[in-house]
Amino acid sequence: MRRIFVLMGVMAIATTGFAKEKGETASAFLKLGAGARAAGMGDAYVAVADDATAGYWNPAGLAQVEGKEGTFMFLRPMAEVEDLAMSYIGIAIPSTYGKFGGAITYYGYGQMDEITGEDNGNPIKGKTWDAYDFACSLSFAKDVKKDTSLGATLKIVNGKIAESTAIAFACDFGLLQKKNRLSIGAVIKNIGSSMKYEQEGFGLPLSVKAGASYKLLRLPLLLSADLTLPNDNKTHFNFGTEYSIKEVFFLRCGYKSGPEDEGSGLTFGAGTKYLDLYSFDYAYQTFDKLGDAHRISLSAKF
């Protein structure tokens, strides 16, 4: 376990060197998470990450995936804001060389009216314009020891605001170590270039995350906790639980202490499996003053 804490220290020092103020980073959608299961557990998923969303949470977690599987998630991050939505598609494919993963994320802001002036206090609307964020990623993980795996995710991030577009390249590096029912993981996310719109460039939301999870077999209950050190926000904690009913039905809850610009609060979720091949998950989270978030996920093994 010592190598986990050494890596955490190195990554934390690296993050402080790229510290930003709130609003000084681009592509905030990269912080929203993947999968309704993780969301229901308060996004405390770094040391869990055992499905097709592992490439997002901790690429080293892909080493836990035993067969081919895919997942689709739809998110309404702020239900009160019309047309705001995010879609995520992820896949995990084991091979003799290691475990591979891929994902596509699309975050749409909808169409907005250009304001060209004012008439008696009423805005004069011009042509409409749209905005979106998009990311495509490839992941790889491999067991380097019986109880230790390493992983990496490479991603291309593209953004569009009206007629302006930007592109950036980034990578994540993760480590996962398991000891009986205890798992400890660490990941550094979004190391890469900046998004440059027109003449101004904005860095990506770099963060260091560390987490632990533990399975209580008699209940049966999964407990998890994450610590996040972002370069554009305050340090925050995430806690999550998952209660299994005969490995068919699942009840989840969690707590998020941040990020500060999203708010803190409880999270709730539920899920079900069919023939251990198909699963459906739902999660509810609050964005404090920004409104509520609803996620649904559909997953399948093939």
Q: Quote the pLDDT of residue 129.
A: 74
The CA-atom distances, in angstroms, between 256 and each of 61, 89, 128, 226, 251 are 22, 24, 36, 10, 17
Q: Quote the pLDDT of residue 51.
A: 97
CB-hemisphere CA count at 13 Å for 287?
17
Strands 292-301 and 278-286: antiparallel
Alpha carbon distance 266, 246 (integer Å): 25
Domain residue ranges of the chain, discontinuous segments joined by +: 2-112+128-301
The 3-state DSSP composition of the chain as helix, strand, coil percent (nearest 5) reads 10, 60, 30
Element (H, E) at 42: none
Q: Quote the pLDDT of residue 288.
A: 65
Alpha carbon distance 84, 51 (integer Å): 26
Alpha carbon distance 20, 261 (integer Å): 14
Alpha carbon distance 258, 262 (integer Å): 6
Q: Quote the pLDDT of residue 96.
A: 92
Contact 44, 57 (CB under 8 A): no
- Of 2.40.160.60, 2.60.40.790, 3.40.47.10, 2.20.25.90, the CATH number of 2-112+128-301 is 2.40.160.60
| CB-CB neighbours of 292 under 10 Å | 15
Alpha carbon distance 142, 152 (integer Å): 10
Residues 146, 63, 37, CA angle at the centre, nearest 5°?
125
* pLDDT tens over the chain, length 302 residues: 555 545 555 454 454 444 455 556 888 899 989 999 999 999 999 999 999 999 999 999 999 999 999 999 999 887 666 778 999 999 999 999 999 999 999 999 887 666 666 767 676 666 777 889 999 999 999 999 989 999 999 999 999 888 889 999 999 999 999 998 999 999 999 999 999 887 777 899 999 999 999 999 888 999 999 999 998 888 999 999 999 999 999 999 999 987 766 668 899 999 999 998 999 999 998 866 667 889 999 999 99
Q: Quote the pLDDT of residue 76.
A: 86
Q: Quote the pLDDT of residue 53.
A: 98
Q: Quote the pLDDT of residue 13.
A: 45
Q: Which pTM was predicted?
A: 0.88
